[in-house]
Structure 1
């Protein structure tokens, strides 16, 4: 999925890994692949329209705590998380890095409980990101395997 950005500096037409990008004017909005955003942001040409700050993560966390089901996340949420984490680390602010990681961990903990419930009952599978849907599918497979193993174990005990 593409990510929306705002152009910070005039961007002449350039070739970015075999793909032509630009020309774009300051203030224009455009959509790029997440890896393109990372490169262009690193060089000061663009900024994501929706940035994931620590405060925004806390808002997601509060909404998640209050809701009984899984709350929807912005598209490309986990990609934006990775980009923001890299951006903070590059800025060299260890306190901000730690605060961001803590907020991500807290949100992940809350969502993981809900995702586990979704793996046990597919009716709860709404509002998941593609990454979370993959995780839940893997969990469901592991839970089914464990259930079969347990059944086989109990059958063996009965036979003995």
Structure 2
């Protein structure tokens, strides 16, 4: 069975002799994978992300294989922290630690990609709020640093080659 979130109301229908629905927007329901894929294609449902150790490891593999940031739901960090807490409170400390390690690896990959994207002024797209805070925090000092390096470089050129350099100098 596949767990999905209903993104628009869905009336009761009969599919291959089986009744499906009715579903209300915002509900989470389990259905057969083929049913879920049919309804996903028609924008009635979307998959509910798996924040278990297996789900986070799958996200990590996708992140490792991709050169761009893979999409994470806006609630990713809050949800995985609740999952770690739930495991610890349930006495599954080893599983909680494994999940934390997988999350740390995922975060390491994402931080590197975020930094590269910020440096190259690429649009970050829709990222979780926690990552947006980091991006905002990193972009300001990087902009200031780039400006200061540009000024230092320009001053050195003026000293070394004089005023003629102003005619051929370009921004870095």
TM-score scaled by length of structure 2: 0.57
Q: How many residues align?
A: 115
Sort the Cα spacing of 1:70 and 1:50 in 2 relative to 1 into closer, same or farther, 3 A.
closer
Which residue is 1:99 aligned to? 98
Question: Larger C-alpha radius of gyration, 1 or 2?
Answer: 2
The separation in 2 between residues aligned to 1:150 and 1:88, in whole angstroms, is 48
Which residue is 2:74 aligned to? 75
What residue ranges of structure 2 are gaps of 5+ in the alignment?
6-25, 29-47, 160-172
The separation in 1 between residues aligned to 2:63 and 2:49, in whole angstroms, is 19
Q: 1:71–1:127: 8 Å Cα contact kept in structure 2? A: no
Which residue is 1:86 aligned to? 85
The separation in 2 between residues aligned to 1:123 and 1:147, in whole angstroms, is 16
1:146 is displaced (CA, Å) by: 2.4
TM-score scaled by length of structure 1: 0.60
Q: 1:70–1:127: 8 Å Cα contact kept in structure 2? A: no
Q: 2:74–2:129: 8 Å Cα contact kept in structure 1? A: no
The separation in 2 between residues aligned to 1:136 and 1:112, in whole angstroms, is 9
Give the root-mean-square deviation of aligned CA atoms.
Answer: 2.7
Which residue is 2:138 aligned to? 139
1:83 is displaced (CA, Å) by: 1.0
Which residue is 1:118 aligned to? 117
1:92 is displaced (CA, Å) by: 2.2
Greater RCO, 1 or 2 (C-alpha within 8 Å, sep 6+): 1
Sort the Cα spacing of 1:151 and 1:123 in 2 relative to 1 into closer, same or farther, 3 A.
closer
Q: Deviations over 1:18-65 (max 9, x none)?
A: xxxxxxxxxx947xxxxxxxxxxxxxxxxxx65510110111111111
The separation in 2 between residues aligned to 1:127 and 1:61, in whole angstroms, is 18
Sort the Cα spacing of 1:62 and 1:51 in 2 relative to 1 into closer, same or farther, 3 A.
closer
Q: Deviations over 1:100-130 (max 9, x none)?
A: 1110011001111110012112324124222
What residue ranges of structure 1 are gaps of 5+ in the alignment?
5-27, 31-48
Which residue is 1:64 aligned to? 63
